[in-house]
Structure 1
């Protein structure tokens, strides 16, 4: 029975109920409950008590004792913040900070523009308090404020209960500030370079470094002084094993094979050490440094990033270790590269000694399709094609998501439906990636621009507009004015 990770928003009360339910089932002789006790209790008690059920519950979630599990929940509670749920306020400085910073949940189009407008209307907001000084990069007044009271450098406050360094790192204002200098001033006065928070209780900390780099599922923009600010933080001792940054600029956002952030993080110790203060606080809930690099190699194989693959292989990342994220499906990097048609990546991994996987018939067919090799696809014959059409209709969605208009056309010619819906259509995926070429290919092949997704009842244009995908937004508006 595998270790089960804690759920999102872990609750002490829910875990207590879980332990009580387990005890009741054990006493009733339920086989699954007895098996759980057999596996996770160091000795099988003859007359189990609540303490035994609590111990099993803790060990099932990877904690050695119930006390350690409860201490973990206290840590999560201490660092949890939900910036996306903070309501608007009439206080000008507080409202300015609320809309000036990324929240990773309420970053709607125009939000940051509201902050610029507030600041333009009242320039005094920039120096209203230590938090607005940090958010605007107002280095000179910040230095004076901290000279008068150095404790302000680490004081939590403002709308999100953050330290000033976090407001600095997550601010996205149009007017340029002296951010690197302001960050150094804060750090010189005692700010923690590893400052961060747990977004809505999730176990991957959003640190100042995370804020500097941006990215993520909403494709949040980088800080205007991103790399410079990141270097300041790392040079001051921020741990480079930043799981959320790796996710935001890898698996969690629109893909780019850029390596600038990885090169900087590797320079300062990504993949080495003990994982820093956040792993000390959260333990196994955070990936180890070595696991972070394996996840990144799997991501580069899945998404098609030869530059990243070369860089990671130079650092000796094991080539055959599967990534742990569900998106990888337990596949090795080599399998992922083959199944998604990334030939160059597959060749790099093979040259590095990766074991060639044995693909099933439908997997081999998908690999041939995703590589765009019509000749190889033809060798499978009509029976395999019929099975693929019936069992893997989402292959066309995969091609669209990975920016392969050539593969989309190949699949459409084989009979795949370019409007196939897997919660969203291929056109939604291409629109979210701001991929005009794939959007054009899908539309030429008959994709419906008015199709809506299952979750938000939104069209591809709605997706593009919400995500700030300017190229696709402009193309769809021009081509289909009736959708507006």
Structure 2
């Protein structure tokens, strides 16, 4: 099963919901509680309460973390980190780099800042003084240091050796390779692997992979990270690249036993069957035939799936279910070849979508697909890509 709780769920609010249901329908309280639990995907009220009590200690809402009150080290960690909300963007990470350039001693102020910067020398200094810092929660999000390292996107030009040396220092000092948190209390953990592999709903420019993703993920897996990382599989399913799956399958994903997170959170998490069905259906709906073949080679049942092979649209201005055009989607993906083909076929770059009221150029700009934005800008009358401007 998988929970259907809202973000930042509260036991007090759900108790109130059960009482309102009880009064409105003249039910025994236990029946109202059962109905509320079932509504949110749990087998009963005790299972829901168990999850919420676990989540209370594990939940982090990055958007709730204020920025102005932080000391320089916490401000650096905050700006450097992938937060998985609308604030994720390259200018934010550049601000972290600028902050560190202006004051290089920031990494000496806290082990969490040293980890965010993937600075082996600074980390060694902190851990020599206090080895227990390797698992200590702290910084703006209350994470262990290795979490900041894995979620950092600050552009400091760190090499693979820098990153692996820094991560190894923390792991050798006892850092948990399965550390993670619950984003806004939702039941799929954001782990170290999630941070290393990166990507997500906001696209690869706003939520990129760690610059040393493959090397860092391999190190974590070698040191005990569990390969059945549900959030990684979700975040990386949107694009056709399968390098994450290849690495995870090589480390035993197909028949891995329950993870520490699955044991801790129980029925609140997706089952493995649900996890695989999500992957299969997305791959089939988007024509990712290589992914389906990879899943099948590793023993995942993909039989009976109807694969939709993408084709060039007959009408380049046709609307999808969200009232967006093919040019909007190509702009979001940064697919320069497809953008040019659509424009040549008569796609109108000034059409707005029905959800955001934005043009393809504005979609490209929001996704930080700068090359796509430049191409679209060159094909609009005044270069703005905004109707009537």
| TM-score, with length taken from structure 1 | 0.72
Structure 1: segments with no counterpart, 5+ residues: 28-47, 321-331, 342-401
1:264 to 247, 265, 282: 247
Does residue 68 of structure 1 match 2:47? yes
Q: Report the 3-state secondary structure (helix = DSSP H, G, I; strand = E; otherwise coil) of the residue aligned with 2:182.
A: strand
Match of 1:346 in 2: none
- Rounded Cα–Cα distance in structure 1 between residues aligned with 2:358 and 2:236: 26
Match of 1:242 in 2: 229
1:281 to 253, 264, 267: 264
Report 1:130-279 matches (<5 A). Answer: 130-177=111-158, 178-219=162-203, 220-250=207-237, 253=238, 255-256=239-240, 258-279=241-262
Which one scores higher on RCO, CA 8 angstroms, separation ≥ 6? 2
Question: Relative to structure 1, is the Cα distance of residues 432 and 448 closer, same or farther in structure 2, using a 3 angstrom cutoff?
Answer: same
Question: Relative to structure 1, is the Cα distance of residues 471 and 294 closer, same or farther in structure 2, using a 3 angstrom cutoff?
Answer: same
Match of 1:462 in 2: 362
- Rounded Cα–Cα distance in structure 2 between residues aligned with 1:84 and 1:25: 35
2:107 to 118, 121, 126: 126
How big is the alpha-carbon RMSD for the aligned residues of Structure 1 and Structure 2? 2.4
Question: Relative to structure 1, is the Cα distance of residues 207 and 92 closer, same or farther in structure 2, using a 3 angstrom cutoff?
Answer: same
- What displacement does 1:421 show? 7.3
- Rounded Cα–Cα distance in structure 1 between residues aligned with 2:208 and 2:292: 24
- Rounded Cα–Cα distance in structure 2 between residues aligned with 1:298 and 1:3: 17
- What displacement does 1:24 show? 3.6
Cα pair 1:86 1:159 within 8 Å, conserved: yes
| TM-score, with length taken from structure 2 | 0.88
Q: Report the 3-state secondary structure (helix = DSSP H, G, I; strand = E; otherwise coil) of the residue aligned with 2:254.
A: coil
Does residue 5 of structure 1 match 2:4? yes
Aligned length: 376
Structure 2: segments with no counterpart, 5+ residues: 385-389
Q: Report the 3-state secondary structure (helix = DSSP H, G, I; strand = E; otherwise coil) of the residue aligned with 1:198.
A: strand
Match of 1:392 in 2: none
Does residue 439 of structure 1 match 2:339? yes
- Rounded Cα–Cα distance in structure 2 between residues aligned with 1:3 and 1:288: 7
- Rounded Cα–Cα distance in structure 1 between residues aligned with 2:115 and 2:171: 12
- Rounded Cα–Cα distance in structure 1 between residues aligned with 2:171 and 2:235: 25
Q: Report the 3-state secondary structure (helix = DSSP H, G, I; strand = E; otherwise coil) of the residue aligned with 2:146.
A: helix
- Rounded Cα–Cα distance in structure 1 between residues aligned with 2:265 and 2:111: 29
Higher-Rg structure is 1
